[in-house]
Amino acid sequence: MNKIDSDTYHVYRGFTLIELLVVIVIIAILGAASIGGYAHFLEQARKKNAADMCEQIKVAWTNYHRDLGFWPSEYSISNSGIKAMDTDMCLVLGKAKLLDVLYIDDNAASGLKRNKEKESELKYGLLDPIGLDFFKRNRSASKIKDHLYQFVLDVNEDGVVDASDGMPASLLRGKTIRGDVAVWCWPEDDAARKDGDTYAQSW
């Protein structure tokens, strides 16, 4: 009986070129699918954050009126309409301790700082996620300011936010907004904005 010397004969095992290509293609497909899913998840998270901030702003303004019995001097029936959460409006709610996005530092030249350090975007006011992204990418000031949270108050105090308070018809769309405040922010797409499609809203 002959014996095969294991040191003489070697059996090499491995992938063929075709098998390697198939594996690479499968990995590429799975990677592309996971990246697309992650991007969708990330966008949904951004929208949720924007919607949460809209709700916080609405509650802050509602509490302002409830606690003080009037709207700030910047707002009156004569100048009713859309306002942006710029630094002045942030300052009003910050001093009233109703919106925790800033604190007041009397020693600072601006008198206004973010709770978190080194967040200089507050120079524009309270930006939505798109505005923050524009700020980080050094987009133009006008583009950045387009993404401040916006709001309309029930200045005539009839319990409804409507056209008489300055609410745009494109956002109302025939609906009645019952309450003291309507808050929203815009999508990046200008066409969607013209159609009145908000990125996030609370009313």
pLDDT tens-place string over residues 106-157 = 555 555 666 555 566 678 889 999 999 999 899 999 999 999 999 999 988 8
The band of 177, judged by pLDDT with boundaries at 50, 70 and 90, is very high
Spatial CA neighbour of 95 closest among 116, 117, 67, 76: 67
Mean pLDDT, residues 12-41: 77
Higher pLDDT, 58 or 80: 58
Mean pLDDT, residues 72-97: 84
Q: In b/e form, how buried is each residue of 47-84, taking b as 16+ CB within 10 angstroms? A: beebbebbebbbebbbbbbeeeeebbeebeeeebeebb
Provide the β-strand partners of residue 83: 151
The band of 97, judged by pLDDT with boundaries at 50, 70 and 90, is confident
How far lies 188's CA from each of 83, 85, 129, 130, 147, in Å? 19, 18, 10, 7, 8
Higher pLDDT, 108 or 19: 19
The pLDDT value given to residue 94: 85
CB 177, CB 58: distance < 8 Å:
no
Global pTM value: 0.75
The pLDDT value given to residue 184: 96
